Amino acid sequence: MNTTSYSRSRWLRLMLPALGLVPAAAMSQTITKVTMAPASLVGGNQSIGTVTISKAASTNGYFVFLASSDPAVTVPAVAKVPAGATTITFRVNTTPVANKAVATITASQGTSKATATETVNPPSPATLTLSPATVTGGNNVTGIIVLDGKAPSGGLTVAIGSSLPTLVGSPGTALVPAGTNTVKFTLTTVPTSRDQIANITVSANTHSVAAPVKVLAPVPISVTLSPNSIVSGNTVTGTVKLSGKVPSGGMLVSLQSNQSFATVPTGVTVQQTQTSATFPVKATFVYPSGDATISATSGSTSATGSLHVIAGSPLANSPWPKFQADQQNTGRSTGLGPRGSVAWKFNLYGGNFDLPIVGPDGQIYVSNQDWLNCFKSDGTPQWTLALGSQTRPKFGPDGTLYVLSGALYQNSNATLNAVTPDGKVKWSLSGKFGGGIDQNVLTGHDLYSAGYDDTRVGTMGSFVIGDDGTIYVGGIAGISAVSPNGALKWMATLPHISFNQVRAGGAGVILATGTDKSNSNLASVWRINSDGTFAWKHDGLSAGNRI
């Protein structure tokens, strides 16, 4: 019992009648009941008590003496029922408790009294908030516990548990400081290969609350290209960045390009605990310049980056991809010419030797009579391909070797061949490609000789690779345009003309010359558009003029 409250009530009960403050009529009143609202609460909160007497109080009112049996609950020492009323309310204060407490509240006047109980409960978790509630594995989550009352002296320890402790780790417990009702704690997550949900539960004093946290697998969030603009024939570095760290075993991200002129691997592996990986992007030949979108995908999530590819040379990236070096047939080289003694030589048999060219792989390619030969730069033979009589080969921008073969003379058919650097024929296209004159001049940093010094090798077919990768072939039938996959795009017939040469200019312009069939001493020059239509021609040139 609260002795202080009891002593005051007893003193007042003895003194008030002596002072004439309790009318005689009041002595016949009785207290019928005491109620608590609420009758059970968490310590630190208040309730309202109500005393009811048997009949209306007299003019001077009716005094009721109050007392509590437990110090966790305090009530006023006395309460006065107003004149004419039968009830009076009073405030009941409680303090935070560590354990459940039950106090008896007594209302008395003279020999009349009534009691009620007030139950004071220790605090327990009321709410649990997790932020963020969805997180990529490897990141932390902040939890906030709110109690339904204030923590008692010494604080309140709350247990914290996880349904997937290997995925989401908890500190085990958190202490709510005395006099407060809130505490924060941290959850740790680990990288995961799939999305998972863990339930977090906090409990104290037989009460618990729970909240879910969703842990996500990392996904691509960005793709960057460095640099993001490049000339065709070169390679850039792509970087895919993920939303979080990768779990044990690494993670494969699929890669894709929406343009054939920007090639990427099928995928790249991001290593364990890492958040990014790099991959090469090869810019192959394109005309005109274009933009490619590079996509990185994991599951249903993708990220993209943009690469601008600038049109480059239609020839392979090689120091000598064709005879006379370049599209303009300048025959120029940055080299200083032959130096010192012969490094190596290889004997080739048969006629129609041609001067060699150098591939983008550094190997040397040379044709003699019916054979196309490949050598390492140190002279080691690599392969030989039988094609028949050939004109001088040229390397396209993707490293494909193009060569005309067969009967390459007037009024005859020939075959345009696309050959891989390892000596395999990708495709062949036959047509009236015979005739025409090609010149061959070779100078360079290193000198490779095929055996003949003559710069003219007969009346052979002429072809050139255009800015857009199209192969334009001159022959007895006219000018043919062949796509890089071997399909005939169009043929432009040049009337009364034979022995056609062809050269490609800028912006898709094709120039052709040929000898007049009726007068072999006269020739014409034509300008042909890239769609096969004629722009203009000029007749009356002396035969033998070349572009």
Domain spans of the chain, in order of start: 3-121, 125-216, 220-310, 357-542
148-193 pLDDT, tens digit each: 999 999 999 999 999 999 999 999 999 999 999 999 999 999 999 9
Cβ of 154: how many Cβ atoms within 10 Å? 10
Task: Check residue 365 and give left, alpha or beta (phi > 0: left; psi -120 to 50: alpha).
Answer: beta
Nearest to 241 by CA among 259, 210, 220: 220
Phi and psi of 438, rounded to 5°? -120, 140
Return the biggest CA–CA distance within the chain: 155
**Do 112 and 30 meet the contact criterion of CB atoms below 8 Å apart?**
yes
DSSP H/E element including 10: helix 3-18
The fold adopted by the segment(s) 3-121 is Immunoglobulin-like (2.60.40)
Task: Name the burial class of residue 46, with classes exposed (0-12), middle (13-18) and buried (19+) by CB atoms within 10 angstroms of its CB.
Answer: exposed
**Coil/strand/helix, residue 508:** helix
pLDDT for res 405: 79
Residues of the chain with pLDDT under 70: 1-27, 313-340, 349-354, 389-391, 407-412, 432-462, 467-468, 475-477, 494-524, 526, 538-547
Nearest to 469 by CA among 508, 440, 423: 508
Residue whose tokens read 């912006």: 507
Domains 125-216 and 220-310 fall in the same CATH topology: yes
**Assigned CATH class of 220-310:** mainly beta
Task: Tokens for 136, please give them.
Answer: 């990529």
**Do 232 and 397 meet the contact criterion of CB atoms below 8 Å apart?**
yes
Edge-to-edge, what's the strand order for the sheet holding 357-358?
A: 357-358, 364-368, 371-375, 381-386
CA–CA dist 234, 240 (Å, integer): 20
pLDDT for res 432: 63
Cβ of 106: how many Cβ atoms within 10 Å? 22
Query: Which of the following CATH numbers is that of domain 125-216: 1.10.150.120, 3.30.390.10, 2.60.40.10, 1.10.10.60?
Result: 2.60.40.10
pLDDT for res 143: 98
Q: First and final CA of the chain: distance in angstroms? A: 121
Q: What is the sign of the dihedral through the CA atoms of 406, 537, 472 and 459?
A: positive
**Do 56 and 86 meet the contact criterion of CB atoms below 8 Å apart?**
yes
Residue whose tokens read 């192959």: 284
Residue 411: how many CA atoms within 13 Å on its side-chain side?
Answer: 2
Task: Tokens for 485, please give them.
Answer: 């996959």
326-360 pLDDT, tens digit each: 655 655 666 655 566 778 888 876 655 567 888 88
Q: What is the DSSP letter of 449?
A: -
CA–CA dist 491, 459 (Å, integer): 21
Nearest to 478 by CA among 397, 521, 532: 532
219-250 pLDDT, tens digit each: 999 999 999 999 888 899 999 999 999 999 99
Q: Which superfamily, per CATH, for 357-542?
A: TolB, C-terminal domain (2.120.10.30)
CA–CA dist 78, 15 (Å, integer): 13
CA–CA dist 52, 33 (Å, integer): 5
Nearest to 55 by CA among 20, 21, 91, 83: 83
Count of H-run helices and E-run strands, the chain: 1, 43
Q: What is the sign of the dihedral through the CA atoms of 110, 111, 117 and 120?
A: positive
CA–CA dist 15, 8 (Å, integer): 10
pLDDT for res 93: 97
CA–CA dist 179, 176 (Å, integer): 9
**Do 120 and 139 meet the contact criterion of CB atoms below 8 Å apart?**
no
CA–CA dist 217, 298 (Å, integer): 10
